[in-house]
A and B are shown apart, each in its own frame.
Chain A
């Protein structure tokens, strides 16, 4: 999926004892005015490209608006939201999105830590490994999802060929994507393949700022490698780990492309983003689609609040 980097700064903790009530000089006022003038363009851009569409989504979610509908647009209160609560397809979409997010992020984090530790150690050809590791991340998701679709194919796919004919692990070929019990895990596997390198790279950056002398000290004190990992590496890696988790969780929660390319809108894998798109574009229900988008927005807002709390706890 596309990696959109959230640049909103985390709220800085208030420095205690610095709030002074001295009368402000005209010089400070002028400076403040200049500051506002300088940030005005950015504020305007944020209002236009972020706040206005968000406000529109909220507004539309309380109407029965439709593309190209001859029926007039009217205010319908919470009807769209009540409908979502009763819609079994929406329930399925919510469930798949949560499963996808939890499973893919958990696996990517564990694998990411392992890989980051490996490529952080010194061995010949480390540069080549670090670069080539990023290949899955560099391929556009639409392309790699289509490739994986071919690989999962029941009759001609390389995965069945390996598991059935070469290794003999399975008795007969499995229709990975068609079978409703394997389709979501198969898609999660593709996401793990694609995004683990990104996770590993973020964590590698975190590992590289840990000074080497703490390990030397630990070795002198007789700590084993295992103890060093749990007592030194992991605690010091925690800030980087949290940032990586925020990126990945928010991204995974909005998952669209990998699922859409491999399964379209099929009900055994439909996610919230696909549901919202189907409602809004295919069915032209702007109002209902906006309500679904607002629900996604609220879920993500909740996740951001939880994570920023964690970060703040980290900082104090």
Chain B
């Protein structure tokens, strides 16, 4: 009847068979890739196939209004009477923005304040540059700033000490993160949500190639990644074993710290100010990472950041991925081809002495500016946003990992964010902090010295021992400037 029968073309056949349930998700991906379909197209076929099933077991959260889970914390002031609180939180295009605007509205309704959402820069580096310009000029324009976990040392001179007013609230948060926010006894930022490096793996592929458990050590990961890559690359030449962040930027500092710390190679600069980077275990861990480039990882991996890593993993072109928790919800979105095929676990560890699992600590805190004309109202706003009630709501609706232990144990969180709740040990104790508190306002210089040379090791421009010697020399210079 129709001039063009959809089942006469291979693509049409694939779609038809998918919709009638004759093909598994894996078959669809395989055959879609073989037909040269792009990842988004395969994703569309998969989501069309799974839409019926998905609609039935969608979580109740999906139908709720934004902010449905917010419960007003007790003990907030209600006499803020139009006090302005300009809070620099997420970026303008952030998917969290709607939720934040609703939360702010509820705060205003309850306390009478006039808090408003001020969008921040998308990239953390740019954002720090702007913060430095505003705060360096002692600008009273903004009252609350969302700050990265590595900035307390840099921001300390501009921050109100929250220990004066919110010590009780701070006691509820993970001590390790509170400690990271404490500079010379002053609490620079209140922990808001946390992040940690995680290992993502394709549970379906591990099973197919006969691996029962995800890898515990880096050697196991290399072996599994190589086996799976060898098996898959016949059908899909761009399939890779392991993708991670190798570009010369802050993300490489996070990856590098995980490699060396998990191999018993210390944490670059120890909390007492000793520079420990130049040790055989750290060098060995960097050599191992360099050996991945062009074998189990693409050569391009030395230009990857988080989104490009996800671009390789999310369409099904990689067996393992190192990334932050946010990546999970992306791989499990209704239109993702990997729904139900992704496992998450802690990153592998080395084989040598002192080896242990390590995940670099990330996450964001809230700081009150010393130059704010409305410090009381701003502190009240921080008290509200970082309360157990709001952290729970942010966790449930936006799948961020809370910084308060009891939130992980909450039955509702365990039901709706099972993946995060299971990873509580990683967020609570398994994470290693970058040496940002000890290097204070020179942290960026330390990190640049580290990731620039590390990138040279990975691209083969320098051998690990020489480059590590250069990092050490630069770090010693920096520590000397700080008075160590």
A interface residues (Cβ-Cβ under 8 A, vs B): 66-70, 88-89, 153-156, 174-175, 177-180, 263-268, 278, 281-285
With contacts A68-B158, A180-B460 taken as known, whether A284 is within 8 angstroms of B135 at the C-beta atoms is no
Q: Is the CB of B247 within 8 A of A67?
A: no
Q: Is the CB of B154 within 8 A of A89?
A: no
Q: Write the chain A residue with the least CB distance to B238.
A: A155
Q: Is the CB of A66 within 8 A of B441?
A: yes
Inside 8 A of A66's CB, which chain B residues have their CB? Answer: 441
Binds A, one of B13-21, B271-279, B299-307: B299-307
- What is the minimal beta-carbon distance from B471 to any residue of chain A, in angstroms? 12
Q: Write the chain B residue with the least CB distance to A265.
A: B248
Q: Could you list 29 A-B pairs, sorted by A, with CB under 8 Å?
A: A67-B133, A68-B132, A68-B155, A68-B158, A69-B441, A89-B452, A154-B299, A155-B237, A156-B238, A175-B298, A175-B300, A175-B302, A177-B303, A178-B299, A178-B300, A178-B459, A179-B459, A180-B460, A180-B461, A264-B247, A264-B248, A266-B303, A266-B452, A266-B459, A267-B248, A282-B125, A282-B444, A282-B448, A284-B444
15 additional contacts (CB under 8 A) given A67-B133, A70-B157, A281-B129:
A67-B132, A68-B155, A68-B158, A68-B441, A154-B300, A155-B312, A155-B317, A156-B238, A177-B303, A178-B302, A180-B461, A266-B455, A267-B248, A268-B459, A282-B448
Inside 8 A of A263's CB, which chain B residues have their CB? Answer: 248, 303
Q: Is the CB of B249 within 8 A of A155?
A: no
The answer, yes or no, to whether B139 is at the interface (CB within 8 Å) is no
Instruction: Compute how far the CA of A263 lies from the CA of B128 in the bound complex, rounded to whole angstroms.
Output: 20
Q: Write the chain B residue with the least CB distance to A155.
A: B238
Q: Write the chain B residue with the least CB distance to A281.
A: B129
Instruction: Compute how far the CA of A66 lies from the CA of B443 in the bound complex, rounded to whole angstroms.
Output: 13
Counting from the closest, the 7 A-B pairs by CB-CB distance are A175-B299, A155-B238, A266-B248, A154-B300, A283-B445, A175-B300, A178-B302
Q: Is the CB of B298 within 8 A of A68?
A: no
With contacts A282-B125, A283-B445 taken as known, whether A267 is within 8 angstroms of B299 at the C-beta atoms is no
Q: Write the chain B residue with the least CB distance to A286.
A: B136
Q: Write the chain A residue with the least CB distance to B442.
A: A283
Considering only CB atoms and an 8 Å cut-off, how many residues of chain B contact the other chain? 37
Q: Count how many pairs of residues, one from A and one from B, have CB atoms less than 8 Å apart in the complex.
A: 87
Instruction: Compute how far the CA of A265 lies from the CA of B451 in the bound complex, rounded to whole angstroms.
Output: 10
Q: Write the chain B residue with the least CB distance to A277.
A: B129
Task: Decide if the interface of chain B is mainly helix, strand, loop or mixed.
Answer: helix
Inside 8 A of B157's CB, which chain A residues have their CB? Answer: 68, 70
Inside 8 A of B442's CB, which chain A residues have their CB? Answer: 283
Interface centre among A178, A180, A263, A268 (most CB of B within 10 A): A178
Instruction: Compute how far the CA of A177 lies from the CA of B308 in the bound complex, rounded to whole angstroms.
Output: 14
Inside 8 A of A156's CB, which chain B residues have their CB? Answer: 238
Inside 8 A of A155's CB, which chain B residues have their CB? Answer: 237-238, 298, 300, 312, 317
Instruction: Compute how far the CA of A68 lies from the CA of B153 in the bound complex, rounded to whole angstroms.
Output: 11
Taking CB atoms and an 8 Å cut-off, the chain B residues in 432-450 that contact chain A are 441-442, 444-445, 448
Q: Is the CB of A178 within 8 A of B132?
A: no
- What is the minimal beta-carbon distance from B263 to any residue of chain A, in angstroms? 24
The answer, yes or no, to whether B456 is at the interface (CB within 8 Å) is yes
**Which listed residue (A175, A177, A267) contacts B461, Cβ 8 A?**
A267
- What is the minimal beta-carbon distance from A159 to any residue of chain B, in angstroms? 13
Q: Is the CB of A266 within 8 A of B299?
A: no
- What is the minimal beta-carbon distance from A284 to any residue of chain B, in angstroms? 6
Q: Is the CB of B136 within 8 A of A282?
A: no
Q: Write the chain A residue with the least CB distance to B239.
A: A155
Inside 8 A of B303's CB, which chain A residues have their CB? Answer: 175, 177-178, 263, 266
Instruction: Compute how far the CA of A88 lies from the CA of B453 in the bound complex, rounded to whole angstroms.
Output: 11
Q: Is the CB of B448 within 8 A of A283?
A: yes
Inside 8 A of B461's CB, which chain A residues have their CB? Answer: 180, 267-268
With contacts A175-B299, A179-B299 taken as known, whether A266 is within 8 angstroms of B247 at the C-beta atoms is yes
